[in-house]
A and B are shown apart, each in its own frame.
Chain A
Amino acid sequence: MISLNINGVQREVEADADMPLLWALRDILQLTGTKYGCGIAQCGACTVHLDGQPIRSCSIPVSAAVGGRITTIEGIAEGEKLHPVQQAWIELDVVQCGYCQSGQIMSAVALLETNTNPNDADIDAAMNGNICRCGTYPRIRAAIKRAAEIKRGGKSA
């Protein structure tokens, strides 16, 4: 049994130590908001936070997450109140198929934790590991700026 702290809750997972965190989340804990896209840390669909840092859960063994705080897409809202990044995503109609968006949002949330007012270059760097095939990139860029504004106290629509 491996004990993981996920979204503030201690969870017991029956898995081999080398199972990628992604499959433990999805298949064992049924936290399916985190997506499988490539399995080789190329697409970012599986992005979660480990101690606040964005990581590709497809390429981190579950043993490496023991003792850390794991945050998934299911854990960024505060109860009924969505995270400013989620609010901005809705406000600007970012999603299309939506499959990559959990990972996009987790990367954006991590960016805004350390940078309250990211410029285009900051966004380029922070989002470079996340692929979207529907072409939502221009809206992602705009929504990150909007989320920063909401976080700084701007009103959400």
Chain B
Amino acid sequence: MSSEGKGTADNGRRQFLIGIGVVAGGTAAGMALRPWLVGAAEANRPPVDFQPHAFVRIGSDDTITVIIGKSEMGQGVYGSLPMILAEELDVDPTRVQVEIAGVDPAFNHPFLPAQFTGGSMSVMTTYDALRRVGAQARSALLTAAAQQWNVDVITLTTDNGVVRDSRGRRLRYGSLVEAANRLPLPDPTSVTLKDPSTFKYIGKPQRRLDSPIKVTGKATFGIDVVRPGMLTAVIARPPAFGASLRGFDATAAKAISGVVEVKAVPSGVAVIAQHTYAALRGREALVLDWDTSANDALSSDGLRDEWRTLAKRPGLVGKNVGDVNAAFRSAARTIDVEYELPYLAHACMEPLNAVAEVTADGCELWLGTQSQSQDARFVAEALGIEPSKVRIHTMFLGGGFGRRASAVSDFAVEAALVAQAVGKPVKVVWTREDDMRGGYYRPLSFNRVKAAIGADGMPLAIHHTTVSKPVLANTAMGKMAVSKEGLDPSTIEGSADMPYAIPNLRVEVHNTREAVPILWWRSVGHSITGFVTNSVIDELAVLGGKDVYEYRRELLKEKPRHLAVLERAATEANWGQALPAGHFHGIALQESFGSIVAQVAEVSVSEGKVRVHRVTCAVDCGLAVNPSQVVAQMESGILYGLSAALDGEINIEGGRVVEGNFDRYRVLRLVDSPAIDVHIVNSGGPIGGIGEPGTPPIAPAVCNAIFAATGQRIRRLPISKSLKV
């Protein structure tokens, strides 16, 4: 991680940046001088800038700034996106400064009118644009140099921020920005791009640039923001879904030292104090009268019982290939099984929070969010102001996993309302219990699967009926994505379009409407369908007396990319060869977000406990822009999915969430974390996503291994609750 960047270590700028707490890039051995990350408001511009596009700015002092509208939640986007632009601009990506964008339509998704980070789409949807913008800027700088030297531009080359000519002369990019500003910009759609075989940076591992500030405690997350005169609030929230507040008595709360105000807000009663501890003590002292009768009878066990019946009835048809009923009549053997998956909390390490300040000029927010433009819109609506009057400062996200892409901007709107009520900057902190019980889970899912094999043991038919609350239908994407009959693609993604060749396939859906708020959870429908589909394929292989790996190979023989990924994972895991005593393999494959991932889990089961020793993963994401972060995201997706598969479960009783903290919502710890080997298959296919596709295969890979080890088929997650051995 070089920090050379001649001329960029401007001392005044450096001090300024340290002042706002987002310091430097650095080397492993010590902090470097170069500022790496700045917020839009803090950008300290050199006297002359060349900014051909919202994405990039080149200063007369040679500072190259890439402006990023995506949120950094661990996936390394502040490294990968600058790398793409820097490749075509021809500068070392590690000398590029990253500036965090505000809300600006320039950073909207190419096909959706929104600025958000999700769906594993950051690289895949910006790769082409960032390349073109980098190439456009380089082309303008080359033209400026050609004019200055009065030579043909074709004789010039670039190298890490410098234009060279055939006689060995050099011009720094910074010295050309004034001239470049006077030139017409080349058309980005027709600008010449590099031949990928000449890439210097893309496709080569690059270390994370946010490590130095994250290992020293200097990275500023939303919860770390401090504003002058800021107060801190916690909110007494409804104890059950749909509960309403009859009244409250704040006398005792207001008597707590440090409590400043108590205000009723739409989400509950806000206790606003000098610091978090006073706010928490004030909240404990509140006397609250909640009416929780609305959902007294709501329980997750009750829903499962209802849905078991519902799953036997015809639903909305999401897919119908061939004729499943005819196939069942000619089947050699059939199964009729139920697969159940629980509600899951995202449980980001950083509990939800936001800082807001409301003045006559509008509202400013400092928060970790995945959905800036929607937050601005909902906050503006709540305050009755224009969206343009809402400024958003995106901070580091202490995890996102979908929760920080709230469909209703709950944590942003709430902070704005509290700040408005109190007339001062306010940080609203959610406790872990607030966060875990406050709603927005992966949906509870009940699945009935009837399946058949022929005399040859190969699949004849799968008839899969899913009962669950639809995810997209409950977000702003519902209008666009959900059919008028109510078919939500997120419910059937990965089941209706499974890559395994099934001659007769029928997928049906029952949409439910229980009062439990649900939301996209890392990989959305795929972590549900991936478990069901890959488990059922395993069941059919066993029913047909076949090797579960060879069975999949046969079912994927018309899909060369999938087959290659499956075979790579199996080969790297030494599938079929002797394992240590008591160890067994399970395998699964899922395509999601444009990438194909296969995983082999090596598992042992003893005394009722599953141990996952090793996971071998193969991934085809088309092009791995930064291979080291592709590996990191596979590891991340696997362990996030494994945590859920082993222990993850949110239960509802009496309309209330049972689990409130990590004592009962158990998550994976280091001691139970397997070794992970990731292998990247460079297919050269279209670029796929990487943040989510590592998650879906792990639960079925582990459960298939458990079957191999014990003969018990896990059809209800989490494993720890189902395992009977």
Contact = CB atoms under 8 A, between A and B. Distances in A.
B349 A26 contact: no
Contacts of B400: 97
Contacts of A156: 28-29
A89 B212 CA distance: 9
Nearest to B226: A30
A38 to B, nearest CB: 5
Contact of B670 (A23, A39, A80, A140): A140
A32 interface: yes
B215 interface: yes
B639 A99 contact: no
A156 B73 CA distance: 27
Contacts of B74: 95-98, 134
Contacts of B397: 97
B671 interface: yes
Given A23-B276, A124-B670, A97 B73 contact: yes
A133 B30 CA distance: 27
B638 A135 contact: yes
A95 B210 contact: yes
B220 A32 contact: yes
B220 A73 contact: no
Given A19-B277, A26-B276, A138-B676, A33 B396 contact: no
Interface in A57-93: 72-74, 77, 80-82, 86-87, 89-91, 93
A28 B663 CA distance: 28
A128 interface: yes
A127 interface: yes
Contact of B347 (A35, A72, A133, A141): A133
B408 to A, nearest CB: 23
Nearest to B676: A138
Nearest to A15: B277
Interface string B68-92: 0000111110000000000000000
A32 B226 CA distance: 10
A42 B637 contact: no
Interface in A110-134: 123-125, 127-128, 130-134
Interface string B416-451: 000000000000010110000000000000000000
Interface magnitude class on chain B: 35 or more
B401 to A, nearest CB: 7
Interface in B609-654: 628-629, 632, 635-640, 643
A134 B31 contact: no
B675 interface: yes
Given A23-B277, A95-B208, A86 B670 contact: no
Contacts of A35: 221, 223, 349-350, 398
A96 B75 contact: yes
B275 A43 contact: no
A28 B28 contact: no
Interface in A6-57: 15-16, 19-20, 23, 26-28, 30-40, 42-43, 45
B675 A38 contact: no
Contact of B349 (A15, A99, A138): A99
Interface string B289-316: 0000000000000000000000000000
B119 interface: no
A100 B668 CA distance: 14
Interface in B208-236: 208, 210-212, 214-221, 223-224, 226, 232
B675 to A, nearest CB: 6
Nearest to A126: B670
Contact of B635 (A30, A81, A135): A135
Majority SS at the chain A contact face: loop
B571 interface: no
A80 B30 contact: yes
Contact of A33 (B1, B28, B216, B226): B216
A65 to B, nearest CB: 15
A157 interface: yes
Contacts of A30: 226
A80 B33 CA distance: 11
Nearest to B628: A93
A130 B673 CA distance: 13
Contacts of A139: 632, 635
B232 A27 contact: yes
B662 A138 contact: no
B329 interface: no
B30 A45 contact: no
Nearest to B431: A39
A93 B208 contact: yes
Contacts of B431: 39
A96 B670 contact: no
Contacts of A36: 223, 276, 351, 429
Contact of A93 (B350, B351, B632, B676): B632
Nearest to B400: A97
B661 interface: yes
A135 B398 contact: no
A33 B217 CA distance: 4
Contacts of B398: 35, 97-100
Question: Of residues A73, A74, A93, A133, which shows the largest number of chain B Cβ atoms within 10 Å of its Cβ?
Answer: A133
B207 A45 contact: no
Nearest to B631: A93
Contacts of A82: 28-31, 212, 215-216
Question: Of residues A74, A93, A99, A101, which shows the largest number of chain B Cβ atoms within 10 Å of its Cβ?
Answer: A99
Interface string B1-45: 100000000000000000000000010111100000000000000
A42 B75 contact: no
B157 interface: no
Contacts of A138: 635, 673-676
Interface of B: 1, 26, 28-31, 72-76, 207-208, 210-212, 214-221, 223-224, 226, 232, 257, 275-277, 347-351, 396-401, 429, 431-432, 628-629, 632, 635-640, 643, 661-663, 667-671, 673-676
Sort A-B residue pairs by CB-CB distance and give the 6 closest, nearest first: A33-B217, A135-B639, A99-B398, A96-B74, A98-B214, A97-B74
14 contacts: A20-B277, A27-B275, A32-B223, A36-B223, A36-B351, A37-B349, A40-B662, A80-B31, A99-B349, A127-B670, A133-B347, A133-B667, A135-B673, A156-B29
